[in-house]
Amino acid sequence: MAKPTFRANPIQVQVPGSSANLGPGFDCFGLALGLHDRFIAQITDEAGLDLDVTGEGSETVRRDEKNLMVKAMYQGFDFMGGKPRGLSVRALNVIPHGRGLGSSASAIVGGLVLARALVLSGNERMIDDELLNIATKMEGHPDNVAAALYGGATIAWTEDQHGHPVARAVGITVDPRITALAFVPNNSVPTSKARKLLPEAISHGDAVANSTRTALLSQALSHRPDLLFTATEDFLHQKYRQEVMPKSFSLVTKLRSAGVAAFISGAGPTVLVLHAGLSTTDVAELGKAAGEHFQLQPLEIAASGATVISA
């Protein structure tokens, strides 16, 4: 591939947060949420990286080439034929870090989409399917990155093609009546720590129950929000992780006991509720039930994924 030609003007991208699993859909279902990180980048003549980060995680994230969003940009440039001489990047992070709301997926997808937008004919050099595969390899699983890239609800998976795992995804148009409530706790839980708690095997009964709920979830999201409570019931992973997020698990139990479609968002510890028509009073009561440990944040479903908003 010939070396790329870079655009001189700055490019800005916004990327939605996301929730994965949605209860039973472990490592396959994703949902884009209406809170967005913004990234701005410009090619420079001066060699090296100029990076500034504000907002969520700004005190802890790297400000060098090992920054996750920058690493994604460089991987994107390499895929398209070569890196630029210099790069100036500004990141405004809105998505909470380490809370199960897709902050790493936003950084990865945002970096790749930025890199593509900075290259002339970038959409031809790196199509969405290729971008999804790079993002999946960086993230380790495709659920959050698919939702961040495409928006709405997504079902993502990997399949073997000529001996290599390839990530794929299809979208679900979410019923416009559905919105979300995020109960965001003060503490974070590393995804790697939460994954280590999962068992190697589960019972046949749990497998059957989980597969039926996962199948039902696509219908509940697309046009049957009355089925959300049943469709978000999990038998596969949440109960095994409760020791690292006891307050979150307790809140899920409390909300589901009241008939609310609640589940752990991704690897947690945020608790997400999907609903279609809770009143302002109902939402306020749920906030009170959650207690001071959680910050309640009503969220729309983001119909669009990563988007170039200026060029």
pLDDT confidence band for 233 (50 / 70 / 90): very high
Q: Which CATH number fits domain 11-172+302-310: 3.50.50.60, 3.30.230.10, 3.30.460.80, 3.30.2290.10?
A: 3.30.230.10
Domain(s) labelled CATH 3.30.70.890 in the chain stretch across: 179-299
State yes or no: cis peptide before 269, omega within 30 of 0: yes
Q: Spell out a b/e string for 27-43, using b for 16 or more CB atoms within 10 Å of the CB, else e.
A: bbbbbbbebbbbbbbbb
pLDDT attached to residue 237: 82
Top-confidence residue, 190 or 13: 13
CA dist., res. 142 & res. 301, Å (int): 19
pLDDT attached to residue 193: 66
Domain(s) labelled CATH 3.30.230.10 in the chain stretch across: 11-172+302-310
Mean pLDDT over 147-165 rounds to 96
pLDDT in tens, 254-310: 999 999 999 999 989 999 999 998 999 999 999 998 999 999 999 999 999 999 987
Inter-axis angle of helices 128-139 and 68-80, to 10 degrees?
A: 140
pLDDT in tens, 141-154: 999 999 999 999 99
Q: Are 142 and 188 in contact (CB under 8 A)?
A: no
Q: Which of 67-71, 102-106, 237-241 has the lowest mean pLDDT?
A: 237-241
What is the homologous superfamily of the domain 179-299 according to CATH? GHMP kinase, C-terminal domain (3.30.70.890)
pLDDT at 118 over 90: yes
The reported pTM is: 0.95
pLDDT attached to residue 311: 58
pLDDT at 200 over 90: no
